[in-house]
Amino acid sequence: MNFVTPPPRTPQRPLYAQHSLSSNTKNAIEFIKTELLKLNVVDKVIRQEGDLAGWHALAALMSKPYFSRRWVIQELALAREATLQCGEQTISWEEFATAVAIFEKHSPLVNDLAKKKEEWGNQADYFGDIETMGATRLVQTTNILYRKSDRGEITNRLLDLESLVSILPTFESSIKHDTVYAVLALAKDTWHSSSAAKAVSANTDNGSSRASAQQPGAQLDQGRTREIIEEAARRFKAKKEARESSKFPVNYEADFVDVCKEFINFAVQKSKALDIICRPWAPAEDDNLPSWIPTLEGIANQNTVKPYNANKRTGILGFKFGKPESHDAGSLYTDGFILNTVATIGDASQSGMIPKEWFTLADWPQRKWPPRESFWRTLVGDRGPDGGNTPIYFRRSFQEIVDKSVRNGDINTTWQIHHGGSSLTKEYLKRCQAVIWGRRLMKTEANDLLGLAPARAEKGDLICIIYGLSVPVALRRVTDDNPRTQPKLNSRTQYQLLGECYVHGMMDGEAMDLLKDHQARLRDKQDEKSGENRGEEEAPRMTKVKFEII
């Protein structure tokens, strides 16, 4: 698939992006035009076994690597028209995107159809996860980034730079810097600082001028008057956005870590939050990045933005980077406190499996009704689909899932999703997969709190609350390059950020309440040592810290 540079745009020739594909996918284009775009027959098509070849061709087209390239997003956004070409056949981007959305919506039914096909092996999930295909992600992404006018021009950019970079981690870029730079023209808070955006804006203005110049002295009709009003409104809005937009420096000669610092600092200043340091977004090929730049390597899942409020909306305190070209140039400083310590930890969930040892760790080895409240809630992060409130029927859904599984064995959530079960159990399973994938079940040292930790977490790691961060995090103490050792007097203590955590009962501000109570007890006793001894056996150790994260 190649990008073809369009000819110069005139009022009669709109800007477009044309992408050519190998001719062996032309069947997909024919299938889209003859079947999927006829919405009145779509329901019939998804139930006809004879159309499986068309679905197969479309799936092959959707899995092309080209759809996972980051610059394609900008090409589609800034083009008035976009066309896909397969051999001698072409299809508009709007038509292709419609077909992709239909396939995604009806993929369970199409997979059920394929399961009946003996020559295809009667596979329950023959087409795989349509949602994760490059074309599907591209369609989903472009649908939430902007809105366009009837003329194909962007009228609204919907997301800021932090949100854009956070939701695009699976889109590849050949240059690391383009992880950020490739989307500057699409973010509502940086597009005026992008040279690409300025070039497009200038081109648009010139095109409008030429269109007007072709009608000297012409009598303005009602339609032309409307165009002038709309154009004036667009220009006014553009100037307003320009005043509100922030400058973001572009420097491909800069070290990538410095680009990351610039981006993180920009995001923090805009959002007044530190959540960006827990959202995987940086390319994984660089092993020397500081731990506060989360990479895609080994991430649990893509969607790490969760509706939690562990810090009770406490603002950022003490946030800064180390001084350039100094001993702490790679450090990030911020304030918070140590909530607890990892005492016991299980194996990481592989492909969304619930390991059998987790049941013992959760003190529910017998697996009989009723399920442990903290366990079934932890497995879904105590949230329902899309991060809403946990449905009350999730409790029985979990028990039904356990009863259907191999006795005393691992629970294969993927198998259960594709082999029967009610819609309610599937709802639990899908939420469970999204939460536990690649994570480890843990129990804390104080109060035996159940939770989920990053795959790299180990016994002795610290569970911390960082001001300005909405979820607890796992940190590993590093003193004199030795992880987890206790700091010596006057030694420099640093921390590695392992990732976000779920701690049951500590996700909605409870930790901040505990800290407040702990400080009140210290004041009452007026004895710091007795406070450090905790007095009450069940009170977790809570130590305020100026963290240096490396």
| Predicted structure pTM score | 0.79
Residue among 304, 217, 287, 318 nearest 548 (CA): 318
pLDDT value at residue 53: 87
CB 65 within 8 A of CB 134: yes
Amino acid 9: pLDDT: 39
């932090």: which residue's tokens?
162
Residue 13 has what DSSP assignment?
B
Strand partners, 158: none
Q: Is the peptide bond before 370 cis (omega within 30 degrees of 0)?
A: yes
As a whole number, mean pLDDT of residues 227-234 equals 61
- Whole-number pLDDT of residue 15: 43
Tokens of 518: 């702990």
Select from 291, 297, 274, 296 the least CA-distant residue to 330: 291
Mean pLDDT, all residues of the chain: 82
Longest dimension (CA), the chain: 89
Identify the pLDDT of residue 100.
Answer: 97
417-422 CB contacts, 8 Å cutoff, 24+ apart: 418/111, 418/124, 418/125, 419/124, 422/397
Neighbours of 422 (CB within 10 A): 12
Q: What integer pLDDT is reported at residue 142 of this predicted model?
A: 93
pLDDT higher than 90, residue 420: no
pLDDT in tens, 153-172: 899 999 999 999 998 887 88
- Indicate whether 203 pLDDT > 60: no
Residue 341 pLDDT level (bands cut at 50, 70, 90):
very high
| CA-closest candidate to residue 420, choices 398, 396, 399, 404 | 404
**20, 4 contact by CB (below 8 A):** yes
At residue 164, the pLDDT reads: 93
Q: Write out the two tokens for 124.
A: 């329950």
- Give the model's pLDDT for residue 121: 67
Q: What residue type is 508 in one-letter code?
A: D
- Tens-digit pLDDT profile for residues 454-477: 999 999 999 999 999 999 999 999
Q: Is the pLDDT reported for residue 13 higher than 70?
A: no
pLDDT level of residue 233 (50, 70, 90 thresholds):
low
Domain ranges in the chain are 2-152, 164-289, 306-348+440-550, 350-437
Q: Which of 32-46, 214-228, 247-261, 273-287 has the lowest mean pLDDT?
A: 214-228
